[in-house]
Amino acid sequence: MAVAVPSHPARARLRLSAIPRPLRGLLIAATLLSLGWTLATAPLQGPDEHNHLGYVQNLAETGSGPSFGPTTGGSWSTEQVEWQNWQNLLALIGVADGRPGWNPAEEAAFERFTRDMPADARSDGEGPNPVGQNPPFYYAYQTIPYWVSRWTELPTRLTVMRLANVPLYLLIVTFAWLAAGEVFGRRRRAQTIAAGSVALVPQLAFMSGVVNPDIMLASVWAAFAYLALVAVRVGPRPWVLLALGGVAGLSALTHGRGLAAVPALLLVLAIVLWRARPWTRRMAMWTMGGVAALAAGIGIAIAYSSAHGGGASITGEVGSTTGAGSIKGFLSYLWQFYLPPLRTMSPQGPPYGYRQVYVEGLGGTFASLEVQYPLWVYDALQLAAGLGLIALVLVVARRWEAVRARAAQVLVVAALPFSMLAVLHVSAYRDLQGPPFDPLLVGRYLLPLLVSMGLAIAFVCTSLPRRWGSLLGVLVLCTFTVLSLSGLGLTIARFYT
């Protein structure tokens, strides 16, 4: 017999002792995983981590981020360059059989440099930096741990900066729990499955252990998902409208891909305002306030990125100027991304599609994409993902009346992946129209969508008979846990054996 979904929402409490025991367990597990990835991943071996570190250091030392375009400085500071050279860190990136330098002579040479380095050795990395056009929110956040540990050597500072991702990771898990409370009520089983399906995703745990703005973008979108569900429940209250606009603005301030929050916000506002008819002048005023908060975030992000972009800007993250393409070409690309090509279709770029992004990306591709599971693991994950989608469709069809009754929540949960995937696919298609003919689409770009994924998994599990639903939920969480621990083991073996 299917389990009914209660309509009453969960209410968060502020007292630490009131944190539900399953959530406490998930937060502890997330913290341990993040610490494990921080230590297991060799320095600067996260995606573009050397460039992100250079951005943070220049911002912390000079008060201004590095430039994306040509400058008279270096891509990284002299201190970082010396560290990369003596520890073999730059040559190590993406080279599966390479190992970091750790012999006493190399360490002693770098220590001698740090004792006698020039006064500007930390502040001369003004660019060109490949991530210099990125908005500054995450990097400004990372200047805090940088300055707290400024008296230490750069390797220690990087470790402290990585540890500063732990609160962002825990926020993602917490907002996933709260979002599940809005959808399923105070049903601990559903909340545990939803939040656990987010917390234990290997790619999310890995990204929390390296310096990269994707972890902050995921936390901002988790907050947005929760606030959007609250807005559907309570209506267009002033604090909700302002919070939604502010969080969407922070999304744009975090990364160019964060602009995908704009269509999601507009859809959420449309749903909330439609349900709140008749409209009032006060409602319109606070709605404009939320839109103004969004506009302020976008304006600051574009102004900053344009000033540091050397002709590029934040919009380069969500749309290439290499070629316009066509609607027919885009539909052909989209078909070939998810399905085998038809005879009449011309190839759209390299053989790269949903398996590489959804299965291998979220399932786990670590370091600089060179640490992977055996092929059979991805085959099994692809089969499981396909069966999960079929189960979701069947459950929705079986419980169609219940789904229709919660149509506003369903639209909100679907709005986030639709908005982000639309932006990512349009950008990837445009990138294929000119050099380097690369879709530039990877699994970590999907991290902002994990809350929606967790809610979908919980919906399937709670719609089954209790015993079978619980077994499926346990299977999902155990699978993610084993994958995360296996990924840690593979990463340790890759760098330290």
| Cross-strand partners of 371 | 366
Banded pLDDT at 244 (limits 50, 70, 90): very high
Helices (H) and strands (E) in the chain, counts: 22, 2
Nearest to 43 by CA among 210, 186, 200, 190: 210
Instruction: Kindly report the average pLDDT of the chain as a whole number.
Output: 89
Tokens 């921080």 sit on residue = 38
Mean pLDDT of 9-37: 81
What is the rounded average pLDDT of the residues 444-467? 95
Confidence of residue 96 (pLDDT cuts 50, 70, 90): confident
Share of the chain above pLDDT 90, in %: 65
Q: Reply yes or no on whether the pLDDT at 318 is more than 70.
A: no
**pLDDT in the model for residue 352:** 81
Q: For residue 62, how many other CB atoms are within 10 A of its CB?
A: 15
Mean pLDDT value across residues 330-341 = 89
- Please provide residue 353's backbone torsions phi and psi, each rounded to the nearest 5 degrees: -150, -150
- What are 470-480's pLDDT values in tens digits? 999 999 999 99
Distances (CA, A) of 493 to 104, 125, 274, 433: 21, 32, 55, 39
Which among 271, 275, 268 has a CA at the least distance from the CA of 251? 268
pTM: 0.92
Confidence of residue 291 (pLDDT cuts 50, 70, 90): very high
Which of 18-22, 171-175, 317-321, 333-337 has the weakest average pLDDT?
A: 317-321
pLDDT the model gives residue 487: 95
b/e map 80-107, b = 16+ CB within 10 Å: bbbbbbbbbbeebbeeeebebbeeeeee
Q: How confident is the model at residue 308 (pLDDT cuts 50, 70, 90)?
A: confident
Look at residue 311 in the predicted model and tell me its pLDDT: 58
Local confidence band at 2 (pLDDT 50, 70, 90 cut-offs): very low
CA–CA gap between residue 53 and residue 56 (Å, rounded): 5
Is the peptide bond prior to 417 cis by the omega test (within 30 degrees of 0)? no
Residue 445's pLDDT is what? 94
Strand partners, 365: 372
pLDDT tens, position by position, 338-357: 988 888 887 776 778 889 89
pLDDT in the model for residue 13:
46
Q: What pLDDT band is residue 283 in, cutting at 50, 70 and 90? A: confident
Q: What pLDDT, on the 0 to 100 scale, is given for residue 340?
A: 87
On the CB side of 89, how many CA atoms lie within 13 Å of its CA? 26
**Between 330 and 217, residue with greater pLDDT:** 217
pLDDT for the residue 12: 45
pLDDT tens sequence across 256-274? 999 999 999 999 999 999 9
Tokens of 389: 């989608």
pLDDT at 230: 95
- Using the predicted structure, report yes or no on whether residue 319 has a pLDDT greater than 70: no
User: What's residue 313's pLDDT?
Assistant: 62
pLDDT of residue 316: 57
Alpha carbon distance 259, 217 (integer Å): 11
